[in-house]
């Protein structure tokens, strides 16, 4: 199949099939929306970790910055700066109209990129483990700030989080048209909420297409080559005339910016943000997507995001549900003949979900250490067939001579 | 005309003086060697020239620019390129990509150009590719451009490293033990290659070398370092007969350099 046909097929699936299935069963739409969000996050982190080789354990901080940016301006929060959390007077208006959401996606990119620079500047001299620890700290600082900035000025509404957050308006006429198309396809009347889910899903798709385009173009340029060179050997890279500081800052800023955009999208789609969404585990989750999929590999990272999300939202949950059912039944564990229901609560199978995820990660790293789709270098030398033959022989001979 | 001059360059690590009061002049178009026993401060001297280390005292003047205080990437951009004692290629990049990284200071494209894929970007990438191909041909690396650098045999990796250094169009090439680990035949090839780099590309070459065969064969001048100090300087024939040099290499009362040569060869 030609690559054009593949893209066509993928687009048909994503733009026609998924919306129809998604509206029939909203759970699928949720899964694929989350995949899209986390794929964008993973692609961003991939620039920092995969391309430039800077281990960032606090990546979710930039996602939080984007999310809280829209959460603050897209809610009533600016009017509640002096209010105690949870005591918003009824009838408080929204600060900005919901349609400024689109502007805020761009603003999220800029603010997150600036935050990336802010983090990048002081830590550029650090390498490897030290950098990882500092970014971990940074991620926690942002979360703790979100948790505690309800005093002296109530910026984040503290641990309760900010809600409601506005969504952009879907024009009524558009809804009529969409219903006319969708209702017969789905078989029931599609609610406005479903259309919002579709809308956020499609927006996430647009963002991710833009992200892929940007990442690919950067990767295949002087900047991308310099990032890889820095990852491979910093000292050699600097001796090649690569300004280390500037390129590391680029990597931090570019990676952060995608997370910022997705943060804005996330807070609007949930109409709610709280510090809990930006825990250290989230950073680790995104990192595991990058590593599982293949460090530095764009299709790998997207697949990694899909696999991790599907595992966590669907496969492992179904599995632990199944185990819980066993526990309530009279079934026994085969071979050792032990009744499931006699299992102590500490060994509750529902708790195996995360353990299984961990086991899968370990097995993957043992058998496919380079990830699901390992990063491949592009073939560039581009010799013509006939020429290639001769040169290949000449070249290998030469190298054979060169071998000691 | 002097391409590179250093005046009283001193580099200390704690109490240890790795390079002391180094005065050194290198004329344009020459091939010059620095020799000396292990730990004499040769590589440290290289590192102060390229900006990896900042000397405590002294001045480095290259092509009318003062180098002390500049960052390594700025110094490379001014026209000094180098290779490393233990080969430092970008192992998981291909050979041609390694060389294209070397072109970094000569490419003017910005991130925006790359995102827009505009004319400037496309032309520069085409130029980068052509230049890299040219250098691969010069270094007899044709046909291995798409191999990962780490998969090349030792001699090939050495050549890629030199090609990568040459990609930045340097005026001065610093080679740190470029023939270490090579057999006599490879060494002869390498020496021929260095001459071609100087003659055909007009690049001045300064090398650190242990093999006396190479040093005596290729050098137009030799400087000898020991314990961070320059102890002798001159034409190869003068150096070979300099008693201070023999002493530095073999200890007091040692025999002639001829013996020393055999020691080095068998090592």
Per-residue confidence band for B252, with pLDDT thresholds at 50, 70 and 90: low
Closest by CA to B142, choosing from A229, A221, A377, A382, is: A382
Higher pLDDT among residues A108 and A15, named by residue: A108
Share of chain A above pLDDT 90, in %: 55
Per-residue confidence band for A402, with pLDDT thresholds at 50, 70 and 90: very low
Cα distances (angstroms) measured from residue A13 to each of A9, A18, A40, A179, A196: 6, 6, 19, 20, 19
Q: What is the pLDDT of residue B88?
A: 96
Name the residue among A237, A244, A379 with its Cβ closest to that of B146: A379
**Which residue intervals of A88-163 are DSSP H helices?**
101-123, 128-148
Establish if B169 touches chain A: CB-CB under 8 angstroms.
no
CB contact under 8 A, A243 and B145: no
Establish if B122 touches chain A: CB-CB under 8 angstroms.
no
Dist CA B48 CA A222 (whole Å): 27
pLDDT per residue as tens digits for the range B170-202: 999 999 999 988 889 999 999 999 999 999 999
Long-range contact pairs involving A328-336 (C-beta distance under 8 Å, separation at least 24):
none
Residue B114 has pLDDT above 60, yes or no: yes
Using CB atoms within 10 Å of the CB of residue A367, give its burial: 0 to 12 exposed, 13 to 18 middle, 19+ buried: exposed
Residue A353 has pLDDT above 90, yes or no: no
Residue A399 has pLDDT above 70, yes or no: no
CB contact under 8 A, A380 and B96: yes
Task: Give the residue range(s) of CATH 3.40.50.300 domains in chain B.
Answer: 2-79+170-266
ipTM: 0.90
| B140 chain-A contacts, CB cut-off 8 A | 395, 398
Residue A41 has pLDDT above 80, yes or no: yes
Per-residue confidence band for A12, with pLDDT thresholds at 50, 70 and 90: confident
Nearest CA in chain B to A221: B114
| B109 chain-A contacts, CB cut-off 8 A | 221-222
The nearest CA of chain A is from the CA of B13 a distance in Å of 19
What mean pLDDT is predicted for residues A138-151? 93
Residue B113 has pLDDT above 70, yes or no: yes
Q: What is the count of residue pairs from A and B with beta carbons less than 8 Å apart?
A: 155
Interface of B with A in 206-265 (CB under 8 A): none
Closest by CA to B168, choosing from B74, B76, B75, B90, is: B76
Per-residue confidence band for B264, with pLDDT thresholds at 50, 70 and 90: low
For chain A, the average pLDDT equals 87
For an interface test with B, which of A214, A217, A221 has the most B Cβ atoms less than 10 Å from its Cβ? A221
Asked whether B219 and B32 are in contact (CB, 8 A), the reply is: yes
Per-residue confidence band for A6, with pLDDT thresholds at 50, 70 and 90: confident
Per-residue confidence band for B65, with pLDDT thresholds at 50, 70 and 90: very high
What mean pLDDT is predicted for residues B69-92? 95
The nearest CA of chain B is from the CA of A236 a distance in Å of 6
Asked whether A375 and A300 are in contact (CB, 8 A), the reply is: yes
Establish if B81 touches chain A: CB-CB under 8 angstroms.
yes
Higher pLDDT among residues B106 and A92, named by residue: B106
> What are the φ/ψ torsions at residue A188 (nearest 5 degrees)?
-150, 170
What mean pLDDT is predicted for residues A59-79? 95
pLDDT per residue as tens digits for the range A379-392: 777 643 333 333 34
Q: What is the pLDDT of residue A332?
A: 80
The contacts of residue B205 (CB under 8 Å, 6+ apart) are B30, B31, B32, B172, B173, B175, B194, B197, B198
CB contact under 8 A, A223 and B154: no
Instruction: Look up the CATH number of domain B2-79+170-266.
Output: 3.40.50.300
The nearest CA of chain B is from the CA of A214 a distance in Å of 6
Establish if A398 touches chain B: CB-CB under 8 angstroms.
yes
Higher pLDDT among residues A171 and B106, named by residue: B106
What mean pLDDT is predicted for residues A145-165? 91
Per-residue confidence band for A350, with pLDDT thresholds at 50, 70 and 90: low
Residue B73 has pLDDT above 90, yes or no: yes
Establish if B144 touches chain A: CB-CB under 8 angstroms.
yes
Q: What is the pLDDT of residue A342?
A: 78
Residue A296 has pLDDT above 60, yes or no: yes
Q: What is the pLDDT of residue A384?
A: 38
Asked whether A356 and A308 are in contact (CB, 8 A), the reply is: no
Establish if A391 touches chain B: CB-CB under 8 angstroms.
yes
pLDDT per residue as tens digits for the range B51-60: 999 999 999 9
Name the residue among B84, B103, B109 with its Cβ closest to that of A221: B109
Helix (H) or strand (E) holding A15: none
CB contact under 8 A, A228 and B90: yes
Per-residue confidence band for A10, with pLDDT thresholds at 50, 70 and 90: confident
SS3 letters across chain B: CEEEEEEEEEEEECCEEEEEEEEEEEECCCEEEEECCCCCCHHHHHHHHCCCCCCCEEEEEECCEECCCCCHHHHHHHCEEECCCCCCCCCCCEHHHHHHHHCHHHCCCCHHHHHHCCHHHHHHHHHHHHHHHHHHHHCCCCCCCCCEHHHCCHHHHHHHHHHHHHCCCCCEEEEECCCCCCCHHHHHHHHHHHHHHHHHHCCEEEEECCCHHHHHHHCCEEEEEECCEEEEEECHHHHHCCHHHHHHHHCCCCCCHHHHHHHHHHC
Q: What is the pLDDT of residue A331?
A: 80
pLDDT per residue as tens digits for the range B20-61: 999 999 999 999 999 999 889 999 999 999 999 999 999 999
Residue A403 has pLDDT above 60, yes or no: no
Establish if A346 touches chain B: CB-CB under 8 angstroms.
no
Q: What is the pLDDT of residue A388?
A: 37
Interface of A with B in 227-246 (CB under 8 A): 228-229, 232-233, 235-244
| B93 chain-A contacts, CB cut-off 8 A | 225, 228-229, 232, 377
Residue A372 has pLDDT above 70, yes or no: yes
Q: What is the pLDDT of residue B67?
A: 96
| B125 chain-A contacts, CB cut-off 8 A | 221
Q: What is the pLDDT of residue A107?
A: 97
Helix (H) or strand (E) holding A332: strand A332-333
Per-residue confidence band for A349, with pLDDT thresholds at 50, 70 and 90: low
Residue B9's DSSP bridge partners are B22
Sign of CA dihedral B56, B61, B67, B73: negative
Q: What is the pLDDT of residue B249?
A: 79
What mean pLDDT is predicted for residues A247-265? 95
Lowest mean pLDDT segment, chosen from A87-91, B14-18, B166-170, B188-192: A87-91
What mean pLDDT is predicted for residues B146-173? 95
Q: What is the pLDDT of residue A386?
A: 36
Q: What is the pLDDT of residue A85?
A: 83
pTM confidence score: 0.88
Establish if A217 touches chain B: CB-CB under 8 angstroms.
yes
The nearest CA of chain B is from the CA of A237 a distance in Å of 8
| A397 chain-B contacts, CB cut-off 8 A | none
CB contact under 8 A, A381 and B96: yes
Q: What is the pLDDT of residue B103?
A: 96
Nearest CA in chain A to B80: A239
Name the residue among A221, A228, A393 with its Cβ closest to that of B114: A221
Asked whether A232 and B67 are in contact (CB, 8 A), the reply is: no
CB contact under 8 A, A241 and B77: yes
């Amino acid at each position: 199949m030609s690559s054009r046909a593949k893209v066509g097929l993928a687009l048909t699936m994503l733009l026609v099939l998924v919306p129809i299935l998604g509206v029939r069963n909203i759970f699928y739409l949720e899964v694929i929306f989350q995949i899209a969000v986390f794929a964008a996050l993973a692609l961003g982190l991939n620039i920092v970790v995969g391309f430039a080789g800077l281990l960032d354990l606090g990546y979710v901080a930039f996602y939080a910055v984007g999310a809280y940016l829209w959460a603050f301006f897209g809610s009533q929060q600016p009017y509640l700066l002096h209010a105690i959390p949870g005591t918003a007077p009824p009838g408080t208006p929204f600060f900005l109209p919901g349609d400024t959401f689109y502007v805020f996606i761009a603003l999220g990119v800029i603010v997150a990129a600036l935050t990336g620079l802010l983090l990048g500047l002081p830590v550029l001299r650090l390498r490897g483990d030290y950098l990882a620890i500092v970014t971990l700290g940074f991620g926690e600082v942002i979360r703790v700030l979100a948790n505690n900035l309800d005093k002296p000025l109530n910026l984040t509404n503290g641990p309760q989080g900010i809600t409601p957050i506005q969504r952009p308006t879907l024009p009524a006429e558009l809804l009529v048209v969409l219903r006319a198309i969708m209702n017969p396809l789905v078989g029931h009347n599609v609610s406005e909420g479903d259309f919002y889910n579709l809308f956020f899903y499609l927006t996430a798709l647009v963002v991710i297409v833009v992200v892929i385009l940007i990442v690919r173009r950067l990767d295949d340029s002087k900047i991308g080559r310099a990032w890889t060179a820095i990852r491979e050997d910093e000292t050699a890279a600097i001796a090649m005339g690569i300004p280390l500081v500037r390129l590391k800052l680029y990597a931090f800023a570019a990676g952060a910016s995608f997370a910022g955009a997705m943060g804005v999208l996330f807070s609007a789609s949930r109409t709610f943000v709280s510090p809990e969404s930006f825990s250290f585990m989230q950073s680790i989750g995104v990192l595991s997507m990058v590593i599982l999929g293949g460090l530095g590999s764009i299709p790998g990272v997207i697949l990694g995001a899909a696999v991790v999300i599907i595992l966590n939202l669907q496969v492992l949950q179904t599995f632990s549900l199944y185990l819980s059912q066993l526990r309530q039944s009279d079934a026994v564990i085969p071979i050792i003949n032990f009744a499931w229901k006699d299992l102590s609560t500490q060994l509750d199978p529902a708790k195996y979900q995360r353990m299984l995820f961990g086991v899968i990660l370990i097995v993957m790293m043992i058998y496919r250490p380079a990830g699901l789709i390992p990063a491949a270098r592009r073939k560039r030398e581009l010799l013509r067939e006939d020429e290639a033959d001769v040169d290949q022989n000449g070249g290998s001979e030469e190298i054979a001579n060169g071998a000691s | 005309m002097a391409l590179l001059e250093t005046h009283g360059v001193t580099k200390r690590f704690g109490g240890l003086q790795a390079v002391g009061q180094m005065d050194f002049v290198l004329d344009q178009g020459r091939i010059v060697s620095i020799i000396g026993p292990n730990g004499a401060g040769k590589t440290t001297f290289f590192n102060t020239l390229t900006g990896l280390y900042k000397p405590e005292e002294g001045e480095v003047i290259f092509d009318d620019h003062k180098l002390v205080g500049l960052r390594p990437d700025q110094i490379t951009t001014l026209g000094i390129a180098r290779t490393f004692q233990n080969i430092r290629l970008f192992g998981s990049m291909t050979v041609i990509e390694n060389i294209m990284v070397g072109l970094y200071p000569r490419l003017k494209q910005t991130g925006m150009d790359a995102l827009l894929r505009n004319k400037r970007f496309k032309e520069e990438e085409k130029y980068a590719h052509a230049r890299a191909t040219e250098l691969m041909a010069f270094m007899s690396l044709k046909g291995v451009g798409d191999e990962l650098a780490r998969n090349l045999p030792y001699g090939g990796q050495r050549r890629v490293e030199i090609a990568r250094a040459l990609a930045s169009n340097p005026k001065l090439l610093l080679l740190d033990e470029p023939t270490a680990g090579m057999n006599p035949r490879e060494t002869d090839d390498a020496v021929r290659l260095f001459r071609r780099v100087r003659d055909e590309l007009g690049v001045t070459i300064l090398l650190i070398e242990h093999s006396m065969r190479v040093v005596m064969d290729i050098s137009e001048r030799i400087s000898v370092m020991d314990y961070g100090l320059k102890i002798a300087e001159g034409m190869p024939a003068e150096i070979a007969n300099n008693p201070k040099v023999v002493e530095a290499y073999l200890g007091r009362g040692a025999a002639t350099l001829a013996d020393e040569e055999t020691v080095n060869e068998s090592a």
